[in-house]
Structure 1
Amino acid sequence: MKIGYARVSTHEENLDDQIKALKEAGCEEVFTDKVSSIKAERPGLEEALNFMREGDKFIVWRLDRLARSLKELITLVDNLKKRLVLFESLSEKIDTASSDGGLIFHIFGAMAEFERNLIRERTQAGLKAARARGRLGGRPHMPEDKINTAITLYHSNPDMPIADICRASGVSRATLYRYLKAKK
């Protein structure tokens, strides 16, 4: 069975052209979403993925209608492959049923891995340069006098609410509890 998925980013946009293209491609079922790709929750996509069975073909009008990133796209198509579901994108003319389509997805996978490696290298280089300039990174350390004030208030005023202790000392509740636990 051919199953289609169409998505537009806003309620003002129209799904008609995508649905028409999917129906012309032979889709018997078409699932839709009117939601930005930034949103992780796409109920129509989830419904389509749950509906599919082994041997089905999942068809989208364009790749950008399906995934927010290359990594997400590759993960989704890999999951389809594991379930023995084929994938096709009409606009990009990618069909995993053909050897050409499989090759293109392997190339996409290699490019995504390359991109992840570049990002990791750039991040490491940036951190190294920051350290060379004297920046250590991470969360700033809480001054000892604030912590000592909070701990003193906690022990000397057992009836004082924690919120008041935190407000008076400038220490967050989580930080106070962390230091109290460490002192035990």
Structure 2
Amino acid sequence: MEVGYARVSTQEQNLDLQLDALNKAGVKKIFTDKVSGAKSQKPQLEELLKYARKGDTIVVWRLDRLGRTTVQLIQFVEELQKLGISLKSLTEPIDTSTATGTLVVQIFCVLAEHERNVLRERTRAGLNSARIRGRTGGRPKGLSPKYEKIKDLVKNAYESKGSTTAEIMQAFKIPSRGTLYRILETAGVEVTSFVKRK
């Protein structure tokens, strides 16, 4: 049995083009979603998977209706293969019930794996290059411009000992004690001179 699936990204978009193509192909049972391809939850696609049985074929107008990325698509195809369900696209040469269609999907898998490997290699090369130049990544050192402007005021308030650290943090909108101590250190207060104050 052939079971259709159609999806558009928003409520405003129209399913007619996909539904017409699926009906013309003779697909009687069709599930539809109006949800972004980026979202992992597609309620009607999940219902379709519960409905379909071993030997059935899921028919879509185009493969991108199933997922936005090649990785998502490959994961979906692998899931279907485990269930004994085929996949067919009306606008692309994909039909996993045939040897040629299966070959095309396998080529997609190889290309996706190659893409992941290239990305990993580029990331490693970039990190190595940065290390050679003395950069280790992570958050840049120093204060943000906002705290750079007030560091001397914070230092004066802290050294006057007229306010608690909590009061200083509240007055200057400093989110954490660690940030406060970083501001003080940048302003010239010795770390060893920090005293715990409630």
Superposition TM-score tier, normalisation by shorter sequence: 0.7 to 0.9
Percent identity of the aligned residues?
A: 51
Counterpart residue type for residue 118 of structure 1: V
* Aligned positions of 1:9-28 closer than 5 A: 9-28=9-28
* Residue in structure 1 matched with residue 157 of structure 2 by the alignment: none
Q: Does 1:170 align with 2:190?
A: no
1:6 aligned counterpart, secondary structure: strand
Q: Does 1:68 align with 2:75?
A: no
* Residue in structure 1 matched with residue 51 of structure 2 by the alignment: 51
Distance in 2, Cα, partners of 1:34 & 1:75: 21
Distance in 2, Cα, partners of 1:99 & 1:52: 21
Residue pair 2:38, 2:67 contacting (<8 A) in 1 also: no
**Higher-Rg member (1/2):** 2
1:76 aligned counterpart, secondary structure: helix
CA-to-aligned-CA distance 1:66-102 (integer Å, 9 cap, x gap)? 1111111111011101110011011003111111101
Cα distance, 1:28 vs. partner? 2.3
2:178 aligned counterpart, secondary structure: coil
Residue pair 2:31, 2:44 contacting (<8 A) in 1 also: yes
Distance in 2, Cα, partners of 1:64 & 1:168: 44
Counterpart residue type for residue 113 of structure 1: E
* Aligned positions of 1:113-132 closer than 5 A: 113-132=113-132
Distance in 2, Cα, partners of 1:72 & 1:84: 19
Gaps of 5+ in 1: 142-156, 173-184
Change (3 A) 1:168 1:74: closer
Cα distance, 1:169 vs. partner? 5.2
Distance in 1, Cα, partners of 2:57 & 2:176: 62
Counterpart residue type for residue 28 of structure 2: E
2:50 aligned counterpart, secondary structure: helix
Counterpart residue type for residue 114 of structure 1: H
TM (normalized to structure 1)? 0.75
2:4 aligned counterpart, secondary structure: strand
CA-to-aligned-CA distance 1:115-164 (integer Å, 9 cap, x gap)? 011100111111111112211123578xxxxxxxxxxxxxxx9xx9xx98
1:95 aligned counterpart, secondary structure: coil
* Residue in structure 2 matched with residue 38 of structure 1 by the alignment: 38
Cα distance, 1:26 vs. partner? 2.5
1:94 aligned counterpart, secondary structure: coil
Count of residue pairs the alignment pairs up: 155
Change (3 A) 1:131 1:100: same
Q: Runs of 4 or more off by more than 3 Å in structure 1? A: 138-141
Gaps of 5+ in 2: 142-163, 180-198
* Residue in structure 1 matched with residue 103 of structure 2 by the alignment: 103
